[in-house]
């Protein structure tokens, strides 16, 4: 078979461009063996499909059913914040306050606290980016202040172990038990938390429930989706693996809520009371270690302001100003026609129920799923938000997709070429394909690129370069400010034709057409690839020749995919 990638010696000449940063590229080639010494295999993944292994979400829900609430000897209630760093429309927090008010009737000295737990090993294992962690810590600071206004202290605990231990370990369970009992002076307590749907996190919560000390009552709630996983099944009771019929069901589920509530989806608002006695706020002290920060170019260190208030006003502004133009502008590379809310949503500073409610108000009506193609801009915006739910549902239904295995198990047979030099050039935006380079440089320098940009570069990596999509997925996680494992895996699966409701394998993005459509005047490209600003005749030679011939590499991809599937 003809190899379409240009020779490596030529490639070497471009390896230290101005945008290159010191980087250990090998970390993207496979799951981190320190944390996952025995990664799941195809056989293991199939056990979930043939039901010989129970899905973690089902185990968690079964264990939950067995929990009964008892206020006996309880004097402390804690809400454990994870990716839900907000007060407004936070179901777990809302429930915790409901329980606290019941408890107060029985024990007027009862206390309500909030907790957040830092485990750097989790961040390493999940390849969280410096951008995202910095954003999370800012969100936490803002939350701490808002909680203090309600007289609820926030405790930030740090789980440190010398050996690599993620939070689904026995060690963590023991640590958690000790910290909690310390807080309640050895008495019983109730802990609320919102469910995180990634497999590691589900197994962590399962362990906590299974090994629970009788004194600790844990209560988990669905919160991060508009419609909780498990509620939408086909007429035959099976899980949807195609978005459009799932979305129709999602829309009618959400619309039906109008019958029982004034809102499309019920928003949980807590009362702005003083829940405990006054206390002196001592802001938590934690600095993000260099190993996470180092991936962010220092000169460009800039994050948007992070608070619930900012997120809500960004949403309102978007709906007022850009919402009606979303259909035309969302894909344009230089316009910023999308909401820019993903980092707020990923860290839970903003709830997607609020996003959907406000969007529906903005278009004065219900959500429509019929004639999807003709939908208005705001209706389409809602549909994009629903994709996030869809991928979360899928992660619960096919848990191995959160363990480094594609939804389509047959695609494990694809013979990826996995050229490390080509991968490196893709990462740093030096492929010689202007649209790809501009996007990849923007990602490296800002931590954010829009959905079209993600699709273009993911298609190019997995198809034109024939590099295992998981290498790219990990690079994205390590660099995105909004890195979210279900949306990221879902997006990569879609573009590489290995995931759920994916593009057919023969759809290979044509980079020239993408440029003409989404950056017609090359404004975006020239912004990020300054080498191309001058007219061709005056350009110096420091911009690389294309890494691949687009037509040849497309044909090669089709051949490889066809022969493997
Ligand atoms: C290869 C690839 C990787 C991706 N990785 C991530 C990721 O790590 N984290 C992430 O939040 N999104 C990811 N997405 C989805 C999407 O690209 C981003 O959510 C979107 O670009 C964020 O910008 P925005 O908030 O301005 O989007 P808007 O267009 O304003 O959309 C509003 C919200 O809807 C949700 N949303 C929109 N499009 C999608 C989609 N296709 N799939 C799932 N949710 C969507 C997001 O929560 C987003 O904030 C990925 C998509 C692809 C193709």
The answer on whether 387 is annotated among ligand-binding residues is: yes
Confidence of residue 8 (pLDDT cuts 50, 70, 90): very low
The reply, when asked if residue 231 is annotated as ligand binding, is no
Asked whether residue 531 carries a pLDDT value surpassing 70, the answer given is yes
Letter string b/e over residues 345-381, b meaning 16 or more CB atoms within 10 A of that residue's CB: bbbbbbbbbbbbbbbbebbeeebbbeeeeebebbbbb
Model confidence at 367, in pLDDT bands (50, 70, 90)?
Answer: confident
Ligand 1 center to 451 CA (angstroms): 6
Q: Give the tokens for residue 21.
A: 């940063």
Main-chain dihedrals φ then ψ at residue 249, nearest 5 degrees:
-65, -40
Q: Residue 483 C-alpha to ligand 1 middle, in angstroms?
A: 9
Q: Provide the b/e sequence for 394-409 (b: ≥16 CB within 10 Å).
A: bbbbbbbbbbbbbbbb
In 150-242, which residue ranges form alpha helices assigned H by DSSP? 170-183, 199-210
**217 by DSSP, 3-state: which?**
strand
CA distance 406 to 394: 12
The complex scores an ipTM of 0.99
Q: How confident is the model at residue 16 (pLDDT cuts 50, 70, 90)?
A: very low
Please tell me the residue having the least CA distance from ligand 1 atom 20: 451
CA 228 to chain centre: 16
Q: Which of 350, 379, 491, 494 to mutate to test the pocket of ligand 1 (most atoms within 8 A of CB)?
A: 491
Rg (CA), the chain: 24
Pocket test for ligand 1, best of 126, 322, 356, 451 (most atoms within 8 A of CB): 451
Tell me, what's the pLDDT at 195? 98
pLDDT at 371: 61
Read off the pLDDT of residues 456-505 as tens digits, 9 standing for 90 and up: 999 999 999 999 999 999 999 999 999 999 999 999 999 999 999 999 99
Of 136, 243, 342, the residue with max ligand 1 atoms within 8 A of its CB, to mutate for a pocket test, comes to: 342
Mean pLDDT of the chain: 92
CA of 248 to the centre of ligand 1 (A): 20
Q: Output the CA 340–ligand 1 centroid distance in Å.
A: 9
State in Å: Cα 233 to ligand 1 middle.
Answer: 24
pLDDT tens per residue across span 188-241: 999 999 999 999 999 999 999 998 788 999 999 999 999 999 999 999 999 999
Question: Is the model's pLDDT at 526 over the cut of 70?
Answer: yes
Find the residues whose C-beta lies inside 6 A of ligand 1: 330, 338-342, 345-346, 384-385, 387-388, 391, 450-451, 454-455, 458, 476, 480, 482-484, 487-488, 490-492, 495
Half-sphere exposure of 235 (CA within 13 A, CB side): 2
Span 316-329, average pLDDT: 93
Q: What is the mean pLDDT of the segment spanning 151-155?
A: 97
Regarding pTM above 0.80, the answer is: yes
């Amino acid at each position: 078979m003809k190899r379409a990638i240009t020779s490596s010696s030529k490639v070497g000449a471009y390896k230290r461009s101005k945008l290159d940063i010191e980087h250990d590229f090998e970390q993207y080639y496979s799951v981190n063996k320190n944390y996952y010494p025995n990664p799941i295999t195809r056989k293991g993944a199939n056990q979930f499909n043939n039901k010989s292994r129970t899905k973690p979400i089902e185990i968690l829900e079964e264990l939950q059913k067995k929990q009964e609430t008892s206020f006996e000897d309880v004097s402390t209630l804690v809400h454990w914040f994870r990716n839900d760093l907000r007060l407004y429309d936070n179901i777990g927090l809302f429930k915790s306050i409901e329980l606290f008010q019941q408890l107060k009737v029985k024990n007027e000295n009862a206390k309500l606290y909030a907790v957040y737990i830092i485990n750097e090993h989790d961040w390493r294992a999940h390849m969280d980016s410096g951008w995202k962690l910095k954003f999370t810590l800012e969100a936490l600071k803002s939350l701490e202040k808002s909680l203090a206004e309600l007289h609820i202290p926030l405790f930030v605990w740090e789980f440190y172990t010398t050996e690599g231990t993620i939070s689904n370990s026995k060690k963590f369970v023991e640590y958690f038990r000790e910290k909690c009992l310390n807080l309640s002076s050895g008495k019983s307590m109730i802990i609320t938390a919102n469910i995180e749907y990634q497999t590691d996190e589900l197994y962590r919560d399962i362990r906590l429930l299974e090994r629970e000390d009788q004194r600790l009552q844990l209560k988990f709630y669905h919160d991060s989706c508009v419609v909780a996983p498990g509620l939408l099944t086909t007429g035959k009771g099976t899980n949807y693996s195609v978005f459009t019929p799932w979305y129709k069901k999602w829309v009618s589920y959400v619309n039906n809520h109008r019958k029982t509530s004034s809102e499309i989806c019920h928003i949980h608002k807590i009362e702005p009371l003083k829940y405990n006695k006054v206390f002196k706020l001592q802001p938590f002290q934690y600095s993000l270690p260099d190993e996470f920060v180092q991936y962010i170019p220092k000169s460009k260190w800039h994050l948007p302001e992070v608070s619930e208030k900012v997120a809500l006003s960004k949403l309102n502004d978007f709906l007022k100003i850009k919402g009606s133009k979303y259909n035309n502008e969302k894909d344009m590379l230089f316009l910023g026609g999308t909401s820019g809310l993903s980092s707020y949503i990923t860290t839970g500073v903003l709830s997607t129920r609020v996003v959907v409610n406000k969007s529906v108000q903005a278009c004065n009506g219900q959500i429509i799923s019929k004639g999807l193609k003709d939908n208005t801009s705001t209706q389409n915006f809602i549909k994009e938000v629903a994709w996030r739910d869809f991928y979360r549902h899928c992660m619960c239904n096919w848990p191995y997709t959160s363990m480094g295995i594609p939804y389509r198990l047959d695609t494990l047979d694809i013979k990826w070429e996995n050229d490390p030099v080509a991968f490196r050039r893709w990462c740093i935006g030096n492929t010689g394909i202007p649209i790809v380079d501009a996007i990849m440089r923007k990602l490296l320098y800002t931590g954010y690129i829009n959905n079209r940009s993600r699709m273009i570069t993911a298609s190019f990596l997995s198809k034109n370069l024939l590099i295992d999509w998981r290498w790219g997925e990990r690079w994205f996680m390590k660099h995105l400010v909004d890195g979210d494992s279900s949306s990221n895996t879902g997006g990569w699966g879609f573009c590489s034709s290995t995931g759920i409701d994916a593009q057919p394998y023969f759809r290979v993005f044509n980079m020239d057409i993408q440029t003409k459509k989404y950056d017609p005047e090359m404004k975006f490209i020239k912004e990020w690839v300054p080498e191309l600003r001058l007219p061709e005749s005056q350009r110096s030679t420091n911009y690389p020749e294309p890494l691949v011939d687009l037509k040849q590499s497309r044909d090669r991809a089709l051949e490889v995919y066809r022969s493997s599937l």
